[in-house]
Every structure is written in C-alpha cells, then in structure tokens.
C-alpha cells in the first residue's frame, strides 16, 4: 500500500510537523510505502497534481489548516478525479469543529480526523480499505458510511504524550528550514474562547532529559533557531525555570517561545534577567489591555498582573519581547486598540503585532458567535467582519494600523523614531495612518528605503522637530546620502571639532567623516565610514 503525504505549506520557511510526527510512530511498518509531495500554496496547482498522479498512491493524506485550506481542496479534488480509487484522508485544525457539512460538500474526501493523530492514524491504516463498519472503532475519525450517513467518532487525544517517538527520528523531518519546531508540551491550562487549544486538556509534557536528547540532535544538525511549541511556557514556573537552564546549554541556538506575562514568579523573573543576550525571543500573549475583553474571552490571569509582567519583560535588555493585540474581540473598541498600541510602545515592546480575530473551528467563541454579536467570514481564514463594538470600517482601520506597525514600528531601522513619535504625539498614529491611506500605499509592499522617504516627507510637513532623528536612522541604516533624508549631511572635507562626545566606535583619520548639523551653532552628529571596505553603515558616531 502506497501512502502519499501532501505537504502543503503557506511559505517555504514553514514546515508542518504532522508528517514526521505520524511517520515516526510507524516508520518500521513495511506494509506502508511512504512518499511525499511538498509544495507551497503559491505554486502551480496543475504541477502539484501531476506530481501526485505520477506516484499513483493508494492513499493521499494531508493536514488542513486555515491558510492552506482552499488550495489543498483544489489539489485533492483534482487528484481524486484522476485517481478515483485513491482514498483521501485529511486532518488538522480545520476539523476540530463539526465536520458533517464539510464531508457532504466535499465527497471526494473519504474521511477527516479530529484531534491528535499519532495513535489513531496507524490504527486506521490497518482498516482503511475494509468495510466502513470497521472505521467506527477509530477515535477521532469523521466520515460518511456506505449509506452516506455521517459518522462522528469524537476527538482523539494522545494521553501518553511522552511515549511518542519524536518527529526528528523520521526521515521526513525537514532540517533545511530556517528554524525547527520543538513540541515540549501538548494541551493548554488556559481557557481562551478564541483559541483551538482553549479546551485541550489535560496538559501533557515531555521529561527534561528527553528534551535534552532532542536538542542534542537539533544542535548536531546546526540549527540556529528553535520554536518551542508550548502554549504557555510558564504555566508551571518550576518547569519553566528548568527549561531555561536547559536552554543555557545551547548558547548558539535562539529559542522562540510564548510566555504569559500574568504568571511570572519573582524567581522566574530573576532567571530570565540572568540569561545570556539573545538566547530567547519572547511572544507575550496579551490580546487586549482591557479587563472586560479578557474576561469575555475567558483568559486566565489578572490584567494588573499581566501589565506588570509585560512591563518587566519589555524592560529586559538581554531579550526582545513581542506583544500581540487582537482586533475584533468582543467588547473591544477601536479607540481602545489605538490606546493599547500606545501603552505597548510606552512599555518598549520589541514588536507590536495587531491581528484580526479569526473564529476557528472548534472554538467556544465560534460556537457563541451569534450570542456575542460577532459576524465572521464563513470561509477560511474566518476573520471577524463586524461586532457590536467595532464596525466594518473600523476593522479595516485596524487592519491598516497593523500594516503601519509592521512597516514602521516592527522594523528595527524605524522603530526608535516611530516609538518616539507615538509617545510624544497623541495624534501621530492617526495622522500617519490617514497619510498612508490617502496616498494609497498602506497595502503596498514598501522597501526599507521607501518607508524612510515616506516618514521623512511626512515629518517634514507635520513634525519638523523630528527630522534629525529620521535622518540619523536613515544614515545608520546605510542608505543613500544623496536622497532627501540626508539632505543636510555635509560630506566633503569634514574636520573633527575640538571636542565631541563619542556615542560608539573609535575615530581614526582614515575614516570618511560626515556631519549632520542640528542648529546654526554647528552642533550636530558626526559619522565615520570605513574607506577601505564596502561597509555601508557607519562604524563611528559622535555628537558635539
């Protein structure tokens, strides 16, 4: 029996763990011949189908989630037309809700799995081509039987999570990506109504020694970035501390993980502060800075504790903390979103990620959408279109604000000046947003240089007192000194002043020295560039 896995991802950088996680459990089963077709959602559908057809599989299996949903169905429906005897089996987050309508609408799909597949998928492979009556015993499987009656076998949970064979042992584990995912915990203690893990109980963990073995393997493959899959890393502060100590053993790996700012113990705070620079990249789940919103979302943890914890995390100089807000949550108003962005900027969040709420299958918020006054798209990615508190137009404004944040605040080159403008000018965000929308560039991909030109031109008209800071950011990013943001820079035969205050670097006479005046008294900033090597950023900075 030949099983073809369709590994369909949203981009080259991403790689699903589903195939190696399932394959690792039954890699020694010689009755199953495994093969794979790997692609992204942006590739030509016909070419992907051709590759599948050439394999002539008995089974096509794939993971379905909101960003590959549409393309996946195009591919497997065509494959079924070409290979009518082939069995199509799907799993993934898209099937955590009621699957009856999906199966009746897409009869080319023979069945879908709800929940965790490592234990039940091998059981299904033993009966896949037998009577549908034998499918009844496979937990989590939803399908139409011979009489086209809908059968629902509930949800599958792997209770002995630590006993699973790790995905890294599968020959299908992809070591070529910029990062790998390491699932250290399954389930979540939290009850967030918008999250597919909100009801995923109990929390199951892998022993520390097993994680060390897996990290040794990852390290030997030269991986530099590990995304730790743990819904709330610090739900247990003692375990979090033990994991941090383990991560210290791999100083050349950067660990990306989610942390709940409301649940930080003093001991864990001290542990975080003592870590080497750059070892961690934190995502702080906050969603909203409004108590009623968080209560309606059933998120555990006091807001006051969350704000205190987030402020602490953002103050740490040895790591960067990103914070997220979700537009479209019940009771969340647009004015509050703008205010919360300013608060996060005040805290010094490394990035501010503003997303629109998506009502995912299987979540409590989707089940209660009508009760909560939420209207949402019936098709993936199921984004909220309107609530009682935020209109269609306001949600579009929130989308534009997200684009602004990504283009300016979340870009290291422009972050400092953007943050300064946000904090010192209450209307800056609204005014820059209006400018970007009016000039029709808000949804256009913009180069780093183009963003700098836009910001400089905007400040020249509305915030001239900040032009010097924009120019400094432009120069330090190594951009052209012949363009507007460097229009005041003096580049020819600059002689150092008698006294200056060195900001960074060491001055040498062979440096190309440029001067940016800040007043008529010849005060300003000095930048030194290497003459002998092609380094476009300054290596020396001083002010007088």
Q: Where are the domains of the chain?
A: 2-152, 178-391, 411-485, 488-544
What does CATH list as the number for 2-152? 3.40.50.280
DSSP E strand boundaries for 375-532:
375-376, 384-386, 501-504, 512-517, 524-529
pTM of the model: 0.92
Q: What is the pLDDT of residue 11?
A: 81
Q: What is the pLDDT of residue 190?
A: 83
Q: What pLDDT is recorded for position 534?
A: 62
Residues whose CB is less than 8 angstroms from the CB of residue 83 and which lie 6 or more positions away in sequence, other chains included: 52, 53, 56, 57, 60
CA distance 403 to 19: 33
416 three-class SS? helix
Which distant-in-sequence residues (6+ apart) come within 8 Å of 5 by Cβ? 19, 23, 34, 35, 36, 37, 61, 62, 172
Within this chain, domains 2-152 and 178-391 share the same CATH topology: no
Pairwise CA distance, residues 105 & 92, whole Å: 18
Nearest-angstrom CA–CA distance, 22 and 158: 12
- Other beta carbons within 10 angstroms of residue 310's beta carbon come to 27
Q: Residue 418: count other Cβ atoms within 10 Å of its Cβ.
A: 26
For CA atoms 372, 377, 382, 388, the dihedral sign is negative
Q: Which residue has the tokens 């003096």?
A: 490
3-state helix, strand, coil in the chain (%, to 5): 40, 20, 40
Q: What is the pLDDT of residue 15?
A: 78
Phi, psi dihedral angles at 377 (to 5 degrees): -70, 130
pLDDT of residue 533: 65
| Residue that is written with structure tokens 């990306």 in the block | 256
The token pair at 379 is 């098709």
Q: Name which of 526, 534, 489, 488 is nearest 508 in CA terms.
A: 526
Q: How far is residue 70 from each of residues 63, 130, 308, 335, 475, measured CA to CA in Å?
A: 12, 30, 42, 34, 44
Phi then psi dihedrals of residue 227, to 5 deg: -95, 110
Closest CA to 471 of 533, 400, 541: 541
**Number of helical H runs and strand E runs in the chain:** 18, 21
CA-based angle 461:464:469, to the nearest 5? 125
Measure the CA dihedral 336/341/345/346, to 10°.
0
C-alpha to C-alpha distance for 481 and 527, rounded to whole angstroms = 12
Query: CATH fold of 178-391, please?
Result: pyruvate-formate lyase- activating enzyme (3.80.30)
Mean pLDDT, each 10-residue run in order, the chain (544 residues) = 95 84 94 96 96 98 95 98 98 96 98 97 96 95 96 95 96 92 90 81 90 97 95 88 96 95 94 96 93 92 93 95 96 98 97 96 94 96 97 98 98 97 98 97 96 98 97 96 96 92 94 94 94 82 96
Q: Are β-strands 185-186 and 540-543 bridged in parallel, bridged antiparallel, or unpaired?
A: unpaired
Question: At CA 179, angle to CA 174 and CA 185, rounded to 5?
Answer: 90
pLDDT at 199: 63
Distance CA 530, CA 15 (A): 41
For 280-302, write each residue's pLDDT tens digit.
999 998 999 999 999 999 988 89
CB 114 within 8 A of CB 156: yes
Query: Each residue of 401-443: pLDDT tens digit?
Result: 999 999 999 999 999 999 999 999 999 999 999 999 999 999 9
Give kind and range of the element (H or E) at residue 28.
none
Burial of residue 474, with CB atoms counted within 10 A of its CB: 0-12 exposed, 13-18 middle, 19 or more buried: buried
Q: Token match 């800040």: residue?
A: 518
Q: Are 232 and 257 within 8 A, CB to CB? A: no
> What is the structure's pLDDT at 394?
98
Q: 527 and 538 in contact (C-beta within 8 Å)? A: yes
d(CA 195, CA 258): 14
Rounded Cα distance, 293 and 289, in Å? 8
């Amino acid at each position: 029996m030949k099983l073809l896995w369709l590994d369909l991802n949203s981009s080259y950088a991403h790689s699903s763990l589903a195939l190696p996680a399932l394959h690792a459990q039954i890699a020694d089963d010689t009755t199953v011949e495994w093969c794979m077709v790997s692609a992204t959602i942006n590739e030509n559908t016909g070419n992907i189908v051709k590759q599948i057809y050439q394999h002539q599989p008995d089974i096509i299996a794939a993971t379905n989630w909101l960003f590959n949903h549409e393309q996946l169905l195009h591919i497997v429906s065509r494959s079924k037309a070409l290979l009518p005897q082939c069995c199509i089996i799907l799993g993934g987050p898209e099937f955590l809700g009621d699957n009856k309508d999906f199966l009746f609408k897409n009869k080319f799909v023979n069945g879908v799995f709800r929940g965790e597949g490592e234990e039940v998928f091998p059981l299904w492979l033993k009966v896949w081509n037998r009577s549908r009556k034998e499918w009844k015993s496979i937990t989590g499987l939803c399908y139409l039987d011979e009489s086209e009656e809908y059968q629902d076998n509930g949800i599958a949970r792997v209770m002995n999570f630590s006993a699973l064979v790790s995905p890294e042992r599968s020959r299908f584990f992809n070591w070529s990506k910029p990062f790998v995912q390491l699932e250290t915990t399954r389930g979540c203690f939290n009850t967030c109504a918008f999250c597919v893990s909100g009801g995923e109980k109990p929390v199951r963990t892998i022993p520390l020694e097993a994680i060390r073995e897996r990290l040794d393997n990852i390290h030997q493959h030269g991986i530099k970035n590990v995304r730790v899959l743990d819904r709330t890393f610090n739900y247990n502060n003692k375990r979090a501390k033990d994991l941090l100590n383990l991560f210290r053993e791999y100083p050349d790996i950067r660990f990306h993980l989610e942390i709940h700012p409301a649940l930080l113990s003093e001991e864990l705070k001290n542990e975080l502060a003592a870590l080497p620079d750059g070892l961690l990249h934190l995502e702080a789940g906050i969603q909203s800075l409004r108590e009623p919103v968080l209560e309606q979302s059933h998120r555990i943890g006091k807001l006051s504790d969350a704000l205190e914890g987030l402020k602490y995390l953002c103050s740490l100089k040895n790591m960067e903390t990103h914070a997220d807000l979700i537009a479209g949550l019940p009771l969340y108003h647009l004015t509050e979103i703008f205010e919360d962005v300013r608060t996060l900027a005040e805290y010094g969040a490394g990035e501010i990620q503003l997303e629109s709420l998506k009502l995912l299958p299987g979540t409590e918020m989707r089940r209660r959408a009508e009760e909560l006054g939420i209207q949402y798209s019936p098709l993936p990615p199921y984004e909220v279109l309107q609530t009682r508190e935020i209109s269609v137009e306001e949600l579009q404004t929130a989308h534009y604000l997200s684009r602004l944040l990504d283009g300016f605040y979340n870009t290291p080159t422009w972050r400092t000046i953007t943050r300064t403008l946000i904090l010192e000018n209450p209307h800056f965000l609204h005014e820059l947003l209006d400018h970007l929308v009016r000039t029709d560039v808000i949804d256009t991909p913009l180069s780093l240089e183009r963003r700098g030109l836009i910001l400089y031109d905007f400040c020249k008209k509305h915030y001239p007192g900040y032009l010097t800071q924009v120019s400094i950011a432009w120069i330090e990013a190594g951009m052209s000194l012949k363009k507007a943001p460097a229009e005041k820079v003096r580049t020819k035969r600059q002689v150092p002043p008698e006294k200056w205050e060195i900001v960074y670097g060491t001055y040498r006479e062979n440096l190309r020295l440029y001067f940016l005046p800040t007043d008529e008294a010849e005060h300003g900033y000095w930048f030194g560039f290497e003459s002998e090597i092609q380094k476009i950023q300054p290596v020396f900075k001083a002010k007088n």
